[in-house]
Amino acid sequence: MTESRKAPRARRLSGLHLLLTYECNYECEHCFVWGGPSQTGTMTLDTIERILEQARALGTIEWIYFEGGEAFLYYDTLVAGVRLARESGFRVGIVSNAYWATSEAEAEKQLQPFVGYIDDLSISSDAYHGCEDGVTCPDIARAAARKLGIPVDFISVAAPEAADVAGSAGKLPSGESAVLFRGRAAEKLASRVAAKPWEQFDRCPWEDLRAPQRVHVDPFGNLHVCQGISIGNLLQRPLPEIMRDYDADEHPIVGPLLAGGPAEIVRRYGLSHEDGYADHCHLCYEARRLLRERFPEVLTPDQMYGIRGQ
Ligand code: SF4
């Protein structure tokens, strides 16, 4: 791969999503990152500072997102990190399940420190999320954000059965996305939809793996081109170096994905497999699980594969 082909990839990376913690107050069945109360791994403010410095050095990052797990569980770090990111010149967003919006007054109190510092608050609002005792925390959080002038939107994931509808006709209700059967969804939800022949999963439909526009970085520094597929570690090598040297075709997992999707991972490494899978991500995730011992630096960390981690 020549330098001239590599350079545009780094220029296009515009979003860095910080997984502030793998911990979450919920344990949703569709969660890509296996977030939950017993998960471990939380970013320190020092790590956030290092990441932001590297993001600045890369020169192409416009957006920094704070997500998880549930980022509000580490509220002081979140507030400090958001302010630091904003003061470093980035546009800033937060993704949250709004568990903290138990009343209008509480929601405004929680959001007040972010006024003028964030450009987007994305709230998970669907059948997987909610609050106890019938209180609709996402609605309360959205109203409070609007009152405070914080741009806000909902993220809604449809029931797993809707994946078949979306896959065949693309008729999910506006604003809803289909479940992708990776992470915990592969284990908990994939059996609820009809399996399709494994050979038909011959591409990655969702991520621009060759020239990613946004990547995720976790508390351990792993840079994920898709959750659980690392292309480097920011605490070991600076982001500009990782992006400069990223050769998608030579990457042991991304390479086969680009050549022929999840089905090609199975073929290339001679993996045993079922006849059918729920979707592309289901086959991709199951194939990767089988390859973790072979590519421990790439298929990491344990948290992304449902193992209570470091
Ligand atoms: S096919 Fe694999 S790489 Fe692509 S989005 Fe699904 S899990 Fe990620």
Ligand 1 near 243 CB (within 6 A): no
Distance 96 CA to ligand 1 centre (A): 23
Report yes or no: 121 and 94 within 8 Å, Cβ to Cβ.
yes
Tokens of 187: 């284990």
Contact (Cβ atoms closer than 8 angstroms) between residue 281 and residue 287: no
Q: What is the mean pLDDT of residues 15-27?
A: 96
233: in domain: yes
- Per-residue model confidence (pLDDT) at position 170: 46
From atom 4 of ligand 1, which residue's Cα is the shortest distance away? Answer: 204
Specify the pLDDT at position 243.
96
CA of 133 to the centre of ligand 1 (A): 36
Instruction: Find the 163 Cα to ligand 1 centroid distance in Å.
Output: 15
How does strand 152-157 pair with strand 196-197? unpaired
Asked whether residue 11 carries a pLDDT value surpassing 60, the answer given is no
Across 67-76, 93-102, 163-172, 294-303, least confident range: 163-172
What pLDDT score was predicted for residue 177? 74
Nearest CA among 247, 293, 246, 285 for reference residue 266: 285
Ligand 1 geometric centre to CA of 280 (Å): 7
The answer to whether residue 263 sits within a structural domain is: no
The residue segments making up the domain with residue 13 are 3-96+158-194+208-246+299-305
Q: Tell whether 217 is covered by a domain.
A: yes
Number of domains in the chain: 1
- Which pLDDT does position 237 carry in this prediction? 97
Are 151 and 121 within 8 A, CB to CB? yes
d(CA 298, CA 295): 5
262 within ligand 1 shell (Cβ under 6 A): yes
Atom of ligand 1 nearest to the CA of 182: 7
Asked whether residue 215 is assigned to any structural domain, the reply reads yes
Q: Which of 34, 207, 289 to mutate to test the pocket of ligand 1 (most atoms within 8 A of CB)?
A: 207
- Evaluate: CB of 286 within 6 angstroms of ligand 1: no
Counting from 1 in the atom list of ligand 1, the atom nearest the Cα of 262 is 1
Q: What is the arrangement of strands in the sheet containing 15-19, beginning at the earlier edge strand?
A: 176-177, 152-157, 120-124, 91-96, 63-67, 15-19, 214-217, 222-226, 229-233
Q: Is residue 273 part of a domain?
A: no
For ligand 1, mutation pick of 33, 179, 281 (most atoms within 8 Å of CB): 281
Which residues lie across from 65 on neighbouring strands? Answer: 17, 93
What's the pLDDT tens digit per position in 167-202?
Answer: 544 454 555 677 889 999 999 999 899 999 999 999
Provide the 10 A C-beta neighbour count for residue 71.
26
Q: Does residue 294 form part of some domain?
A: no
- Report the separation in Å between the CA atom of 89 and the middle of ligand 1, taken as the mean of its atom positions: 31
Atom number of ligand 1 nearest to Cα 284: 2
Residue 284: inside a domain: no
- Report phi then psi at 180, rounded to 5: -105, 130
The atom of ligand 1 lying closest to the CA of 257 is: 3
Answer for the pair 108, 148: CB distance below 8 angstroms, yes or no: yes
Ligand 1 nearest atom to the CA of residue 209, by list position = 3
Give the Å distance between the CA of 284 and the centre of ligand 1: 6
pTM score, two decimals?
Answer: 0.90
Mean of per-residue pLDDT scores for the chain: 90
Is residue 124 a contact partner of residue 117, using CB atoms and an 8 Å limit?
no
Residue-level pLDDT at 157: 72
48 within domain boundaries:
yes
Any ligand 1 atom below 6 A from CB of 10: no
